A and B are shown apart, each in its own frame.
Chain A
């Protein structure tokens, strides 16, 4: 044991120097973090004045602001509703991570769950007060934008991927290529700006979608371009024999695609699809730039309170932990699916 450790850590002078340097950096970093977070840190009961006195972490800011960060400006008494919404999403992700649960039913479950989520958020029935979209905020917004974005972008992505491979229809293929390359060539921030500034210009007077819907449109169009490339990868990976066999059976184009090609191709690309979804989950944080109150923006707005302003790192660490938990779970799920 000791000998093996010595061989891996001090197996040569370069390796030894690296080990010593890394150990030094880790030790200093860990000691500094511990000192800041625990030794000089203040728990939930502290006042901002107490925290400011010795420069340690002030975890009281989390105790004070966590409801706002998680739920935004949602009416305080009704915040059990977004809490349930978060639970529904967690259950949905959990179920979808198992290959055993992949039935056609799963698609219906997703649509049903999203309907329940929206009903809960809006309310206005069964004694629940109606909450307009402007008051939604926090984690449910992040989850909604990424999940609805993915669910609605997916059919579009499949169509675009099929269109890009349609040999007999050069015009359709050109349109699909143009769409995918245009969207992938520009940053999401530009698309979000476009949706928030230009969408109202392009729609008739009176039809003015709110900020959330505009951001959602941009995210759907963005996600569809990336998903289309992933789906196309799956289509390309299928051996030609599959197409020829379907032809030999006399299946029509749509029968071939729906019954033979897509079921196999989509199965192949599940791990990269999950990775794309993880990227989208992180990218929804960019709605900060158009002022939509998602998880990250809620954290930033919470910090605008002058009393708690100096304790940004504490809030950012909480946000990082939440994002990390979701993305880590998703990337693990993707790796497990790849292995199975």
Chain B
């Protein structure tokens, strides 16, 4: 008997049974409580509420949505799209700014490197939510639409940032199609064909009369009409998250560049490359492999941080989810949906970066 107990495999089984059994009991107890509490509050479980009409006013929505007419399911879909919009724009901008700041930190120009270092330090050591509130209150302190600030065709007021948009015509579609076709053709061919990527679409566009008309914002009454409006909430969220995340990306880029042996710089220098050329052609492509995994987690962080939108009133999935659970009382279902969405996004981002990593590794091996 004692020999049996000493055997490692038996002990492992016993331990696992005890731990899993304990967890199972805990879950059973919690579920029982939930069932009793829900019954006492007369809340029916299930996802049927998603078809009911949602009385949620939504300020900005990429798809058509009518309060009290559209369903809760559609309202949550609007939230998902708003979250994806903010995080996609945020990831691209944060990547650009972060890379620039990271390179600037290693610049031989002392002023640039000191500025970049203070940027990183100041932004990383304050909470993102506080930064978001500061941006939002700064945007709200802007003048009203009538006294809006004009910078060329761009208008800035407490109604948000309004950009002129190109009037999209057939010629633009044709140019875009040409770009895709050319890119398909020269996908794996030599770099000397790269000029075609710009020239062919331009020629197509010019051949169709080179239309170029901008829709400019015009003041009508208390607000602007025309152009593309970025609401103050969206602008504050994106600016806040981009600035905060770019500080982290800058550090990742810096350490990635520093991980490349000095010999690479010296060899490129000996070949007559300038600093910028060395960075672009030799250092960054190699650093990318070191940078990618931590970069993926920063992208994820940015996406998760879009939930801070709740605090400034941008209607992301979390904010619409909160209103939904307050109105319907279906808290478990709503939170499960929100969490499932974030888990899917997490999986998608880490999966995408994983594919990129294997591709890069293959290039490295060749």
Is B110 within 8 A of A8, CB to CB? Answer: yes
Identify whether the interface residues of A are mostly helix, strand, loop, or mixed: helix
Q: How far is the CA of A282 from the CA of B131 in the complex (A)?
A: 11
CB-CB < 8 A to B49: which residues of A?
A: none
Min CB distance, A47 to chain B, in Å? 20
**Separation of A289 and B40 alpha carbons in the complex (Å):** 28
Q: List 21 A-B contacts (CB under 8 A).
A: A11-B108, A170-B16, A171-B16, A175-B19, A185-B346, A186-B338, A186-B343, A194-B339, A201-B38, A205-B36, A205-B37, A205-B40, A282-B127, A285-B127, A312-B133, A313-B137, A316-B134, A327-B125, A327-B126, A331-B124, A331-B125
Q: Is B33 in contact with chain A by the CB < 8 A criterion?
A: yes
- Please provide the chain B residues from 315 to 337 with a CB less than 8 Å away from any CB of chain A in the complex: 318, 321-322, 325, 331-332, 335
Q: A185-B346, A194-B335, A327-B124 are in contact. Are A169 and B37 (CB under 8 A)?
A: no
Verify B33–A202 contact, CB threshold 8 A.
Answer: yes
Set of chain A residues within 8 Å of B311, measured between Cβ atoms: 288-289
- Interchain CB contact under 8 A, A172 and B19: yes
Residues of B within 8 A of A166 (CB): 12
Contact A313–B138 (Cβ < 8 Å): yes
Q: Is the CB of A22 within 8 A of B318?
A: no
Q: Which residues of B contact A193 (CB under 8 A)?
A: 318, 321-322, 335
Within 8 A of A (CB), among B109-124: 109-112, 115, 121-122, 124
Set of chain B residues within 8 Å of A188, measured between Cβ atoms: 304
Chain B residues, Cβ within 8 Å of A316: 130, 133-134, 137
Q: Is A165 an interface residue (CB 8 A)?
A: no
Interface size class of A (residues with CB under 8 A): 35 or more
* Most chain B beta carbons < 10 A, residue from A26, A189, A296: A189
Assess whether A22 is in contact with B128, with CB atoms less than 8 Å apart.
no
For A37, the chain B residues whose CB sits under 8 A away are: none
B308 contact set on A, CB distance < 8 A: 189, 286, 289
Closest to B304 in A: A187
B15 surroundings in chain A (CB, below 8 A): 169, 172
Which B residues fall within an 8 A CB radius of A?
A: 8-9, 12, 15-16, 19-20, 23, 30-31, 33-34, 36-38, 40, 107-112, 115, 121-122, 124-131, 133-134, 137-138, 141, 276, 304-305, 307-308, 310-311, 318, 321-322, 325, 331-332, 335, 338-339, 342-343, 346-347
Q: Is A14 an interface residue (CB 8 A)?
A: yes
List the 10 shortest-distance A-B pairs measured between CB atoms, nearest first: A327-B125, A187-B304, A189-B307, A282-B127, A285-B127, A168-B12, A185-B346, A312-B137, A187-B307, A202-B30
A324 at the interface (CB under 8 A from B): yes
Residues of A within 8 A of B (CB): 5, 8-9, 11, 14-15, 18-19, 22-23, 26, 166, 168-172, 175, 182, 184-190, 193-194, 197-198, 200-205, 278, 282-283, 285-286, 288-289, 296, 300, 312-313, 316, 319-320, 323-324, 327-328, 331
Q: Are A19 and B322 in contact (CB under 8 A)?
A: no
Q: Per a CB cutoff under 8 Å, which of A186, A282, A331 touches B304?
A: A186
| Closest chain A residue, CB of each to CB of B131 | A320
Cβ–Cβ < 8 Å partners of A171 in chain B: 16, 19-20
Q: Which residue of B lies closest to A166 (CB)?
A: B12
Please determine whether A189 and B130 come into contact, CB atoms closer than 8 angstroms: no
Query: What's the least CB distance linking A290 to chain B, in Å?
Result: 10
